[in-house]
Amino acid sequence: MSKEISIFAVGDLILDEPGPMEKYFAASLGVLKSADVLIGHVETPHTNRPLPSSIDIQAPPSNPEHLKALVDPGFKICSVAGNHLYDCGPWGVIDTVNGLRELGISPCGGGANIEEAKAPAIIEKDGISIGVLSYNATGPKLGWAMSQKAGCSYIDVQTYYYSPREMPGAPAKTYTFIFPEALEQMQSEIRELRRKVDIALVAFHKGNGGSTPKLDTYERPLCYAAVDAGADIIIGHHHHRLKGVEVYKGKPIYHGLGNFVTVTYAMTAGHNNTSEMLEYLKLRAAEGRGDGHYDTDYYPWDKASLNTMIAKIFVSKNGVEDFGFIPALIDSEAVPQIKSRENGGEEVLSFIADQTEGAGLGAKFEWSEDGSWVRFR
């Protein structure tokens, strides 16, 4: 039998404020350290020389020192391709990826130019090679890397609005899709990675972060295209809440791993009073999503987002052998707490099952023999 190793993955990491950051990993530290390979997504730029460069709601620069909190849990790879990577300009991109490298963590998805941004992170553990590609599939275009511009690796997603009733003022339906040539380019990059490694993992920053279980129409075809090209594992993030899971051709797809450690005052009323943020808070209030005042000031998301998970996958040189997730619940201090079958895990599993069923993904769940994690098929 081939030797197996474990890959664990978490969703968004926003290591902004307040500090110190290490306390937010304390309750999950033992589980995270038990992984052979631990992967996360660094959401915000970490730099001391920001050049504000956002056309939306800017993520303020995070302290580069906060990246050190990723060392003790054992993070080996961090994806960075997301909608906020370029918010602090080119130095925000460069300082973030270089800061991770200096800590011995392999970044992927961002860099000083498109060649660097597209480069996979490749590591080896116990003779098994693992490669990770990271793509921003949400925008904005301003954050995309180019041959002579820092930024992130990206996939161009198109949005089409149309009115089925063809009457003035009639409600529009929204359809999102990716042009075939963009999918083909991504697939060629995955095939190239697959030739170099035993296990290929692809991380997508995707979707619109909506509060319903549904996925945007491009999300599943994007993931399927990646698996068709040779990806063994797909992980998603950006929604800031868990999305459903599914299995395609025997490969696990985690459509949205949700928040993990995400602490920031960026969207809290009174802490970020730019004109754009004030308008954004008015919009959120009008939509019934709150006015910028939160139960925990530095955790600016709703109660549903407190449900989270750690993806857990066992792999060998032959491919994926087993997979599922470890349930967790973010507490009132924004600390993820590990949950088991006997200790609150059923609540998290119920949420994930609802998200999965609501998106029509068809996965079924079962607890592991010891009740510490959940398999899905």
Spatial contact of 254 and 235, defined as CB atoms under 8 Å apart? yes
CA distances from 207 to 138, 157, 177, 374 (A): 7, 10, 11, 25
The total of other beta-carbon atoms located within 10 Å of residue 248's CB is 16
Peptide bond preceding 73 in cis form (omega within 30 of 0): no
Cα separation, 213 vs 220, in Å, equals 13
Cα separation, 256 vs 98, in Å, equals 26
Q: Which domains does the chain have, with CATH numbers?
A: 5-264+300-376 (3.60.21.10)
Angle at 317 between CA 314 and CA 320, to 5 degrees: 35
Spatial contact of 30 and 8, defined as CB atoms under 8 Å apart? no
Average pLDDT, consecutive stretches of 10 residues, N- to C-terminus, the chain (377 residues): 91 93 98 98 97 80 97 98 96 98 98 98 98 97 97 97 86 94 98 98 92 95 98 97 98 98 93 85 84 93 96 98 98 98 98 98 98 98
Predicted TM-score of the model (pTM):
0.97
Burial 160-198 (b: 16+ CB within 10 A, else e): eeeeeeeeeeeeeeeebbbeeebbeebbebbebbbeebb
DSSP annotation of 240 reads S
